[in-house]
Amino acid sequence: MPGTVKPWHPVGSGTGRGLTYSLGMSKVHASAIVGDDVQLGEGVEIGPFCILTGKVTLGDDVKLISGVSIQGPVEIGAGTVLYPNSAIGFEPQDYKFAPGTPTAGVVIGSDSIIREHVTVHAASNDHTPTKIGSRVMMMVYSHAGHDVTVGDDVIMVNATHLAGHSVVEDRVIMAAGSMLHQFGRIGRQAMTSGCTVLTGDLPPFCLAAGRNEIVGLNLVGMRRSGMSSEEINAVRYAYKTVLRKNPPMPVMKQMLAELGSRSAAVQLIADFIDIAKRPIVPVGGRRVS
């Protein structure tokens, strides 16, 4: 019948219908287009109308629900699920990048969730891919630009946008509509409120809101992660005596280094600020240039 969707076709090792599969049983819907360079782990499911081209490697039990588009080079770790209309590995939105230029592509870790209309763009270089970690949840319309690095256990809520070359460290939560400037960084276990705009670097454990404003600490996230009360109190003391006072950068680095000698968590803040190339987002929303 016209318009009837064709059923699943179980596939194993070998080549069939112009498709190349790795060893193990996988399921590829008859309406999917899977290129010869695509390699599938065991238990992979590729749903209706998915299109995979170039060198794409899907780990065991990866599931592409429907309408997923992937352009290699792309590697996706075991157990990751991609929802309808997500687009992974397409060329960067960079005027300097000529179409067809070799790229290191995209690497996504294991057990991540990539929801509807998520985009992750390929690297603008041929040696270091755009990276999304393991156990990451990118909700509807989230975007990771070229050369972005996202750590493990990160949650990006609907319409969260990461500009090119930005870095999001482990266990960060970005609320809906948050945006991070190109080359910007968000430190470990930091959190943003809805519609937060960051043009500077947000230190670990901090809570940001509005435009470039630290409004507190992610205390709930710190407790849930299993941090000891001693470490949490050390971060709170560093926040109160250093970050809230917004001292000149050399003074801030010196004060944090001293406190970091007695606390691993504070040392993370000190190290993060010490290597910053962009302004640090301040407590109280002082202008970031």
Active site residues: 146-147, 164
Amino acid at 180: L
**Tokens found for residue 8:** 């699943």
- 266-269 CB contacts, 8 Å cutoff, 24+ apart: 266/234, 266/235, 266/238, 268/187, 268/188, 268/204, 268/205, 269/187, 269/203, 269/204, 269/205, 269/235, 269/238
Q: Where are the alpha helices (DSSP H) in the chain?
A: 219-224, 229-241, 249-260, 264-274
C-alpha to C-alpha distances, 203 to 117, 146, 216, 260, nearest whole angstrom = 29, 22, 11, 14
Helix axes 229-241, 249-260, angle to 10 degrees: 160
Q: Which of 152, 157, 194 is nearest to 169 (CA)?
A: 152
